[in-house]
Amino acid sequence: MAFLAVVVLTFAGLITGGGTASAANLLLNPGFEAGSTSGWSCAAGTAVTTPAYSGGYAVSVTPGSTIGKCAQTVSVKPSTTYAVSAWVNGNPVYLGVTGGPSTWTAATSYTQLSLSFTTSATQTTAEVYVHGWYGSGTFYADDISLDGPGGGTPGAPPSPGNPAVGTVTNSSIALSWGASAGTVTGYRVYEGGNVVATVTGTSATISGLTACTSHNYSVAAYNSAGESPKSAEAGATTTGCVDTGLPKHALIGYLHASFANGSGYTRMADVPAAWDIVNLAFGEPTSVTSGDIRFTRCPVAECPTVESDADFIAAIRAKQAQGKKVLISIGGQNGQVQLTTTAARDAFVSSVSAIIDRYGLNGLDIDFEGHSLYLNSGDNDFRNPTTPVIVNLISALKTLKAKYGAGFVLTMAPETFFVQTGYQYYGGLGGADNRTGSYLPVIHAMRDALTVLHVQDYNSGPVMGLDNQYHFMGGADFHIAMTDMIKAGFTVSSTGFRFPGLREDQIAFGLPAAVSAGNGHTAPAAVHSALNCLVKNSGCGSYSLRGGASPALRGLMTWSINWDRYYGWEFQNAHEPFLNALP
């Protein structure tokens, strides 16, 4: 948690400019994963398995009497800036836009080329290409990207109005939208890339849904010429959610229960009633890959005032009688947990269950840091992960949720590196660290069982937000931008897949309790400014919320209750009354 060394991230910025494009790859078959050059006009090009930059395929082209051009034309919007990139290998290889800029390299291994261009006031299509040179030998290209908003097909209708959510039940969500201004045959309602309804009017009810599940929908109009660009998304959650017993806005903190730290030991009975969730830090594995988690209470030699097990358990019961939740937190800085095998997964379930049962806890907090989570090469779809440490963790959490039932409280405390950085980089894509964004598949798989996600908005380097600008910890702006990403959702790097936002009641943000607790301490007034922006869409400064106001935002998390006590409860005293006063 807050005693981690700061991880400083330096990333290349996304393109900004007039009519800035949001990140969404417009190219078909951009990584040639169809096993062919489908979607491309490719002279002498074939899809090959070796050498591929990522995934299973790349394109191989051997220019002879031609330059070996592979090109694709897509619809774009006028007066809009786009970013183009490709991973290439060969001597030489060119990347460019017909009628626009180009760049090239001579490389004996995969190297990324990138450029940007702005469409003219009347431009509706753009051709992106890669090519080699006459008789210069074979080149390879992979993961070609044209990032920006689609412009629709010539003759197709313009986008309809953005959908609005109507009646919501346990199993259905009603939508309505403004009509497209063009000639329209009908409308398609999308959830992600899947069509879930096709209608001729401007409303639809999506039925057959599961209770307490979140959904995000966009709408496109179509006619015989083609389909319009999709509208913006509208999100809703079906009713039927189990009441967790938490207040609307909660204060969440970590209690050093297995060590003293510089802040000293705090007995469970001495934790004030202001704290709604108390995470016991930490349960740690017997070895990195064992999956066998042990929770050892702080020894007397380190914590002279430590209470007996009987008093500790009695204090937990007293908290629960007040409606508070007490969880075991797994991981932390030193507790590296890699569930590389199904045996480790099963040991995790068994040992965590034993801790929960011994102390009568309400649930589990996942605070995996360091190298606990990562993505293997080619594991680029967060919706269908294949890396064992990810797959086995998801399986273990689902088993624990099923065992303890609907009232089981599940929280997560990832660092920004493992979540929001996935907007720019995911796993090893783009030459990034293979841990970037690696919490996303876990969050997504558990989204309907997740009680609270409280990302650590501290010990972080600068992170790019949905405005394609870098944000820096320590002020209101960082908390606003990082939290808005979780509410609004975002396209995951160059994968083309969109991470849907969470329900607002599932979202909190984390910060250090005091200046000694971690890098990124934020003054109370700035925290309150961030909360006012996120909850009321008021006083947001220069940032515009993409996910809108979140009146049910769950609250604040801190590292830690012990540090707050050390500093005279300044975090609790500043923020608990403010949370309680929010609408």
- The number of beta carbons lying within 10 Å of the beta carbon of residue 411 is 24
CB of 335 closer than 8 Å to CB of 297: no
| 328 beta partners | 280, 364
What the block records as the tokens of 580 is 């309680």
CA 546 to chain centroid, in Å, comes to 15
Q: At what angle do helices 342-359 and 388-404 cross, to 10 degrees?
A: 30
Could you say which of 227, 233, 369, 415 is catalytic?
Answer: 369
CA 101 to chain centroid, in Å, comes to 33
What the block records as the tokens of 55 is 């995934």
SS3 category, 581? helix
Report which of 57, 53, 24, 56 is spatially closest to residue 42, judged by C-alpha positions.
Answer: 57
| 415 tagged catalytic | no
CB of 569 closer than 8 Å to CB of 253: no
**H or E stretch including 536?**
helix 524-536
Terminal alpha carbon distance of the chain: 30
Rounded-to-integer distance, Cα 156 and Cα 226, Å: 5
Q: Are strands 250-256 and 555-559 parallel, antiparallel or unpaired?
A: parallel
Q: Hunting for tokens 């007293």 — which residue is that?
A: 318
Q: Which residues contact 452 (CB under 8 A, 6 or more apart)?
A: 250, 252, 277, 411, 412, 506, 507, 508, 554, 557
HEC profile of 380-435: CCCCCCCCHHHHHHHHHHHHHHHHHCCCCEEEECCEHHHCHHHHCCCCCHHHCCCC
Among the residues of 271-341, which ranges form H helices? 309-321
CB of 488 closer than 8 Å to CB of 466: yes
Q: Hunting for tokens 């096709």 — which residue is that?
A: 198
Q: Are strands 325-332 and 293-294 parallel, antiparallel or unpaired?
A: unpaired
Q: Are strands 325-332 and 277-285 parallel, antiparallel or unpaired?
A: parallel
Rounded-to-integer distance, Cα 109 and Cα 140, Å: 10
Report which of 528, 563, 535 is spatially closest to residue 549, judged by C-alpha positions.
Answer: 535
Rounded-to-integer distance, Cα 166 and Cα 164, Å: 6
Q: Which residues contact 573 (CB under 8 A, 6 or more apart)?
A: none
Which residues are known to be catalytic?
Answer: 369
